Amino acid sequence: MISHSDLLRRNGVAVTAQRLAVLRAVAGRPHATADDIAEDVRTEIGTISRQAVYNVLGVLTEKLLIRRIQPAGSAARYENRTGDNHHHLVCRDCGKTVDIDCTVGKAPCLTPADHSGFLIDEAEVVYWGICPDCLQKDKPAESLS
């Protein structure tokens, strides 16, 4: 695996302490929100404005070094698992997000019956459900069956 500094340089992004810290935070906490990332970055390098974190996330996303996902009703989340077409499973209660490998692997992995003349390059697949922790919490109050 190449270092984060090399990764930035190879993609034409100047190496700065802020960019390195954001990359590390995203790698260390997949599917974190910008606020989560800002918190981790502050622990590591001290003061950094929210806007600065957003700016760095924007640059890294644009260069495809990180991937931005935004499930409906959730804040944007970031991860450094890029270059594959994996999907996400999101908890309706707490927003916990986990990776689901795509069974096809390449986008678009779903073929519509009628493409209406579009050249389709992606099918956005999000699985929704209740995570084990929330299932456990809800148990005494109500039964799901």
The β-bridge partners of 77 are 33, 69
CB of 138 to Zn ion, least distance (A): 9
Nearer to Zn ion among residue 52 and residue 102 (C-beta): 102
CB count within 10 Å of CB 73 equals: 8
Contact at 8 Å (CB) between 83 and 63? Answer: no
Please give the residue ranges that form the binding site for Zn ion (CB under 5 A).
79, 91, 93-94, 96, 99, 102, 109, 131, 134
CB of 31 to Zn ion, least distance (A): 6
Nearer to Zn ion among residue 12 and residue 121 (C-beta): 121
Nearer to Zn ion among residue 44 and residue 93 (C-beta): 93
The Cα 27–Cα 50 span in angstroms is 19
CB of 94 to Zn ion, least distance (A): 3
Rg (CA), the chain: 18
